[in-house]
Amino acid sequence: MSDFRIRPVDSDDGDWIAQFIDERWGAEFIAAHYEVFHCRDLPGFVATEGEEKVGLLTYKIVAGDCEIVSLDSLQPCMGVGTGLIDAVKTAAAESGCKRLWLVTTNDNMNALRFYQKRGFVLVKINRNAIEFARNLKAVPLIGAEGIPLRDEIELEMILGEAAC
Ligand SMILES: CC(C)(COP(=O)(O)OP(=O)(O)OC[C@H]1O[C@@H](n2cnc3c(N)ncnc32)[C@H](O)[C@@H]1OP(=O)(O)O)[C@@H](O)C(=O)NCCC(=O)NCCS
């Protein structure tokens, strides 16, 4: 039985975030839609269970839009991912954002299922956008489930509208 808690990222989390992102995404930064994000410098939420950190979401607010830059759960299917999404939805709405959005990769069927079941809708495909990340760090040609890893898929949720 999981008994996790969600708290905002604090100033002591920086080194852990950099290492965690490196372990999960192959570099201390996220490269997406031709931008580089240093997650340790972003606001976010940490899921904890006791002393252990079991999940991280980082985000960036620009011009009333809130982008989820990273989302990782170390405790699959226990509600951690959903809890982190709920936390950023609240933070974005409280900051006056009208839109919550993110990109994921074309091979990430798990994420596409997860986000759509939580109220996100597909917006667009950035074809071959993964090449940008490949120029900066090692990104495999073949991704999850043997799918060629090529494109970014953008999803969004308009805040204030009914969501699952
Ligand atoms: C996508 C991701 C963040 C989901 O995190 P998670 O902690 O497993 O998410 P949740 O536990 O909230 O939900 C996952 C499933 O578990 C189920 N679940 C949640 N709590 C549960 C519980 N207590 N008991 C049983 N099942 C539960 C949910 O119904 C959900 O299934 P669904 O998506 O079919 O509805 C996680 O798989 C992950 O870190 N993936 C790798 C990184 C990644 O791809 N990130 C997104 C890139 S943009």
Q: Ligand 1 center to residue 42 CA distance, Å?
A: 23
Contact assessment for residue 39 and residue 29, using Cβ atoms and an 8 Å cutoff:
yes
pLDDT-above-90 percentage for the chain: 96
Q: For the chain, what is the mean pLDDT?
A: 96
| pLDDT over 60 (residue 162) | no
The per-residue pLDDT for 1 is 57
C-alpha radius of gyration, the chain, whole number = 15
The per-residue pLDDT for 164 is 42
The per-residue pLDDT for 2 is 75
Residue 74 Cα: closest atom of ligand 1: 39
19-58 per-residue burial string, b: 16 or more CB within 10 A, e: under 16: ebbeeebbbbbbbbeeeebebbebbbbbbebeeebbbbbb
Site residues for ligand 1, CB cut-off 6 Å: 71-73, 75-82, 102, 104, 108, 110-111, 113-114, 117
Q: Ligand 1 center to residue 73 CA distance, Å?
A: 7
Q: Ligand 1 center to residue 86 CA distance, Å?
A: 13
Q: What is the pLDDT of residues 57-99, one digit of tens each?
A: 999 999 999 999 999 999 999 999 999 999 999 999 999 999 9
Q: Ligand 1 center to residue 66 CA distance, Å?
A: 21
Q: What is the pLDDT of residues 137-150, one digit of tens each?
A: 999 999 999 999 99
* Average pLDDT for 9-26: 97
Beta-bridge partners for 152 = 105, 126
The CATH fold of domain 5-158: Aminopeptidase (3.40.630)
* Average pLDDT for 20-49: 97
